[in-house]
Structure 1
């Protein structure tokens, strides 16, 4: 039985998609069967794995409006053991279309329910907002990973996200758990980066992943080649960080 993990933070630019793509690829390399669901209209996780976004005819949008099935929306990627349900810019429209539907927060949960037996991990790359798409992801998920950038406004907005998670737990998904807070874009030379790490660990202690994702040029180059960091440069610091995160996640879930 697979585990569904949403990767969410309403702040943009904190490393959500980078984490979704590279954690998924790392889990795949460690011989776990992984499905990545792109639930962000920007479709960066889709293009980041080498899929032509313009050519997507069956994806998250069609899945949520019930014009295709989950099985039909799944594409294989060139990364080992990693499949994706891709996104396209048309996903923008779904929030408006779902507004007056009954049980609108449960749409994603319903359509992916049958996939849990086929995968070890299903990761959902969320949009940088707390709208209906993210709500659907949190309702469908077993747990959530929250990437936090090691920068000045790191903790700003975190309270809002934690409140959203609390209300999802109360109303839609009592089983939702916080998998962990992930510190990203860490630069050991900056005093500020170190202060943010201390601050987050002080407030959230055991909720913080031991693995910290460091700033890495190779990591930011990889998506423009449509590759994960694992296939783009397996010896880079970025690849090591994400493999270490994948190992930590597996150890935590198999303990």
Structure 2
């Protein structure tokens, strides 16, 4: 049975999609069979992996609605990842799913058909706390929260944590919170460390290692339809490789995730 990881944060611009694509590619590099799921109607993950959402005839929307089998929608990418793509049609899924019983379980039911074919499934949740994100959390074993290391970046983290607690109580009692992943991190500034310390103290949330540095390589990779791991050696790719090793040890050996010791500057 595949390990399902939901990557969620209702705040946009926190490198959520970059984390899904790069972490997935790093896990493939470690010999894992990885499926990534685009649950964002904007289709950013789909686009960043080299596929134009506007040219796709079928997507995760059709799977959630029960119109097609998931196996008929999956797309292979150039880096060994398998993608369940999204199109703008997914924007209408929120309203349609709300009228259906068991709406939170639509993705979980779809993944059950193919989960034996993969070691890890990573779900890119949309920047909201609607029914699509609830589907991602209900299907997942654990949650990762990318967190931009800037002022006010943690606004909404408390609401997300409350949503996770509610999902645990109602639809997925086995859901675990892995912690926050620092993104767009600038080690030269005390400000980044202060933001992480505030999140750690305020929400009692583990901060995962290593932090993901700010680098132009991420934007360049997305524009080329590949992940940052496909290009020449860079610090962003190395950080995601270390994160992949960290999480894989957690999932396969039962080890605790490696975390940062963060402390605000006096």
Counterpart for residue 138 of structure 2: 139
Deviation at 1:116? Answer: 1.7
Counterpart for residue 98 of structure 1: 97
1:48 correspondence with 2:48:
yes
Deviation at 1:205? Answer: 6.4
From the superposition, tell whether residues 206 and 164 of structure 1 become closer, same or farther in structure 2 (CA, over 3 Å): closer
Counterpart for residue 242 of structure 2: 244
Q: Deviations over 1:86-141 (max 9, x none)?
A: 11111101001111111111111111112221111000001000001001111111
For 1:36 and 1:183, the matched residues in 2 are separated by: 21
Q: Structure 2: give runs of 5+ residues left out of the alignment.
A: 254-266
Deviation at 1:154? Answer: 2.3
Deviation at 1:206? Answer: 7.1
For 2:251 and 2:179, the matched residues in 1 are separated by: 12
TM-score (structure 2 length as normaliser): 0.92
For 2:204 and 2:166, the matched residues in 1 are separated by: 22
**Is the contact between residue 199 and residue 205 of structure 2 (CA under 8 Å) also seen in structure 1?**
no
1:39 correspondence with 2:35:
no
Counterpart for residue 175 of structure 1: 174
**Is the contact between residue 158 and residue 203 of structure 2 (CA under 8 Å) also seen in structure 1?**
no
Q: Deviations over 1:203-229 (max 9, x none)?
A: 566722121101011112210110100
**Is the contact between residue 38 and residue 46 of structure 2 (CA under 8 Å) also seen in structure 1?**
yes
Q: Deviations over 1:9-61 (max 9, x none)?
A: 11111111010111011111111100000000010100101112122122110
| Range with bigger deviation, 31-40 or 106-115 | 106-115
SS of the equivalent of 1:207 reads coil
SS of the equivalent of 2:116 reads coil
SS of the equivalent of 1:35 reads strand
Deviation at 1:198? Answer: 2.6
Counterpart for residue 66 of structure 1: 66
Deviation at 1:251? Answer: 1.1
Deviation at 1:179? Answer: 2.1
Q: Deviations over 1:145-204 (max 9, x none)?
A: 111110111221110000000001001111111122111110112221121123334456
TM-score (structure 1 length as normaliser): 0.95
Counterpart for residue 184 of structure 1: 183
For 1:87 and 1:232, the matched residues in 2 are separated by: 25
**Is the contact between residue 196 and residue 207 of structure 2 (CA under 8 Å) also seen in structure 1?**
no
For 1:192 and 1:169, the matched residues in 2 are separated by: 33
| Range with bigger deviation, 184-193 or 88-97 | 184-193
